[in-house]
Amino acid sequence: MEPKLVFDYFSQINKVPRPSKKEEKIIAFLQGWAKEHGIDCKTDEAGNVLMSKGATPGMENKATVVFQGHMDMVCEKTSDRVIDFENDPIETYIDGDWMRAKGTTLGADDGIGVAIGMALLTDDKLEHGPIECLFTRDEETGLTGAFAIQPGFMTGKYLINLDSEDEGEIFIGCAGGANTEATLDVEMEALPAKYFPIRLSIDKLRGGHSGDDINKHRPNAIKLLARFLYEIQNKYDMRLVDFQGGNLHNAIPRQAEAIIAVPAADKENVRVDFNIFSSEIEEEYHDEASLHTLLESTTATECIKKEIADKFILALTAVDNGVYEMSIDLPGLVETSSNLASVHLVDKQIKIVTSQRSSINSQRKAMSASVSAALQLAGFKTVTADGYPGWKPNADSPLLKIAVEKYKELFGKEPKVRAIHAGLECGLFSQKYPGMDMISFGPTLRGVHSPDECLLIPTVEMVWKHIIAILKDIPNA
């Protein structure tokens, strides 16, 4: 696999646990690696790591270029995979032209970006001006590292973010976003006599990234299960015992389960209804080859008070999820969306996590308000975080012009220049470094934020060649 240096470093990175908010081991690894290779390295109070490399002879007058990726990864796994993400390595394998992981996320988002940066710092055959490589922490669950970056930590005039997922596409803008969380304390009561407890589950969906994949007809397991509960709530004297679904705020939920109870006389009717419902959603989402539904008997002695449970199911059914509006300025770009990310009943409290994204801040605020209102009607207390800013496109970017020209020279075709509905740290960098010229690109990834995550191996070499060509043509400072 080429470039060998990049894949060697990616292999090393995948041996180091790096869940979001628990990056201490990867920070220590990077610091030790820099010391071993004699590379200038500094770490700020937040844990962001910046490494620097001087220019090669004859290129000292070039402007400094920052290459940036985040060191943390989304830790998702299949239900049958046993792994401790805080201590165990990611196990990878090759599937034709794709690299995958055994039952977990691969970590190429954004481990491959970090590996490219490390290779740039150690490949002595390259011709380049001054280089800085910034490795940020906790991008996936709050952009904590990027929020904490202080003016002056970086010195580069140009920045190339290596956290995009479609080779041949250069990104010059991204959506801003915020999480809306809701909580509701619930009262439990004894399950009525002669009620039959049933466990319902929907799982093995593809899921995916709540920004980049929100418009790809990916079903949300929580919304599907809520849809069935709403249906039978209106047919039977149903009681809700438990509801659990989703995991990460930025992932489309792949699984959800509920425990309900109905009068024993209705249990077979519920089974028939669930079979019909399962057939309907399999037809609706026929491209979800692994979609799995299950109904089985279970045990329970208490349930949520009926009036609370009924309102909860109404709220899950009503709350916005998916694409809300498409951009009128950039065809094909999702402008505003919301993701119902997780629902968990723990210690007699229901907690719901959602995320809203938009290229327009006022639209994002309106979307968050809509989600809050639906949940407040059911009695939930809601809080919307401050969120993170979008990154306004600059079609006249000098760095963009260089990148487009070099891509055409290398591959004989025009790259696509576009904005992305997912969040990128560039929005925060643009606030701290308003004069910095930025673009984002990277190798092709699929299934990010899910165990289906995979990396298209040949595109890594294409990105590498593109970077080398850009570095040779960077203007003088």
- Catalytic site positions: 72, 139
Q: Of 147, 225, 126, 189, nearest to 430 (Cα)?
A: 147
User: Which residue matches tokens 């055994």?
Assistant: 102
Strand order in 416-420's β-sheet?
40-43, 49-53, 131-136, 65-70, 158-161, 437-440, 169-174, 416-420
Local structure of 358: helix, strand or coil: strand
Rg of the chain over all Cα atoms, to the nearest angstrom: 24
The DSSP bridge partners found for residue 195 are: 263
Q: What are phi and psi of 459, to 5 degrees?
A: -75, -20
- Burial (0-12, 13-18, 19+ Cβ within 10 Å), 282: middle
User: Which residue matches tokens 């201490």?
Assistant: 24
Name, in order, each residue with C-beta under 8 angstroms of 342's C-beta and a sequence gap of 6 or more: 222, 245, 246, 247, 248, 249, 253, 351, 352, 353
Q: Of 373, 281, 250, nearest to 318 (Cα)?
A: 373
- Residues 141 and 48 sit within 8 Å (Cβ to Cβ): no
- Residues 326 and 333 sit within 8 Å (Cβ to Cβ): yes
Q: Give the amino acid at 392.
A: K
Q: Of 86, 67, 63, nearest to 75 (Cα)?
A: 86
User: Which residue matches tokens 């943390």?
Assistant: 72
**Residue 192 to residue 364: CA distance in whole angstroms:** 44
**Residue 264 to residue 408: CA distance in whole angstroms:** 68
Local structure of 377: helix, strand or coil: coil
**Residue 90 to residue 15: CA distance in whole angstroms:** 6
Q: Which two three-digit tokens encode residue 383?
A: 């809080």
- Residues 166 and 371 sit within 8 Å (Cβ to Cβ): no
